[in-house]
Amino acid sequence: MAVFEGAGVALVTPFKENGEVSYEKLEELVEEQIAGGTDCIVATGTTGESATMTEAEHLNVIRFICQVAGGRIPVIAGTGSNCTRTAIELSEEAEAAGADGVLLVSPYYNKATQEGLKAHFTKIAEAIKIPAILYNIPSRTGVNIAPETIVDLCKRVENIVGVKEASGNFSAVATMMNLSGGYVDVYSGNDDQIVPMLSLGGKGVISVLSNIAPRQTHDICESFFKGQIEASRRIQFKAMPLIDALFCEVNPIPVKAAMNLMGKNVGEPRLPLTVMEPQHQEKLKKAMQAFGLLPAAE
């Protein structure tokens, strides 16, 4: 059984003015997501700025989100690293904290071979009992996890169950689904490709959009699963300008700007990420107004 089906939010990590994690705000965000129909919370991923967290912060955020969620919806912890030993330690701690699964990004910068990727993911998964979802995002990591590698890992390693696929390569996804016979749980890693991924047998999305539109993102998936394909498409199409604005600068710069425009006060991203440029923020604001997330301009 899949760790979750539907819309999982790649949750931002809110910061105070002094740059520390705001746990009070983080609790609010978790509660808002659960109330908004989100099917799963993904903690400390790219959107959660794990790259600029200390290991202590990383684990404390995972523990806190697990505590607040309290089993109401699954929590998947981002525990990937380009150091296998570090990824094992983070994954073990996430399991101990009560996470329902881990999300393992392909090791970045090292540029491992496919055999290296297999060895890396196998070592991590064998150190824990909870499910592991791979994360394929070659635009950030510099390495692609081949469809054959994903299928092999899901066949050989009991608790490697699927992949967050953000390569944008639907031919590769179709190849993977065909090779696996459908037993690899595939989640869209791109908000503009939810419906196409579901049409290939995907289980849902791990979403940036869900941070500001949890109900709508959930409804894209739920409508599709109910066979209401046109309704699902309509929401996807309506969201496209907003999704475009959410990625006009590198994630999570725009989504944090969007949340601050909505009064959620999640703080600025940590350096080396900076605040959104004014012209891009204006584009984002207009897209949010058109989607109904902000009052229309007078």
Residue 149, CA distances (Å) to 2, 119, 202 in order? 19, 11, 18
Tell me, yes or no, if 109 is annotated catalytic: no
Q: Catalytic: which of 16, 109, 155, 164? A: 164
* Contact predicate 199/1, CB 8 Å: no
Q: Catalytic: which of 118, 135, 187, 264? A: 135
* Contact predicate 39/71, CB 8 Å: no
Round to whole Å and give the CA distance between 298 and 290: 13
Round to whole Å and give the CA distance between 70 and 80: 23
Q: Which string of b and e fits 222-245 if b means at least 16 CB within 10 Å? A: bbbeeeeeeebbebbeebeebbeb
Round to whole Å and give the CA distance between 80 and 101: 12
For residue 77, the cross-strand partners are: 43, 102
Q: 217, 177, 199: which is closest to 11 by C-alpha?
A: 217
Catalytic residue numbers, as ranges:
135, 164
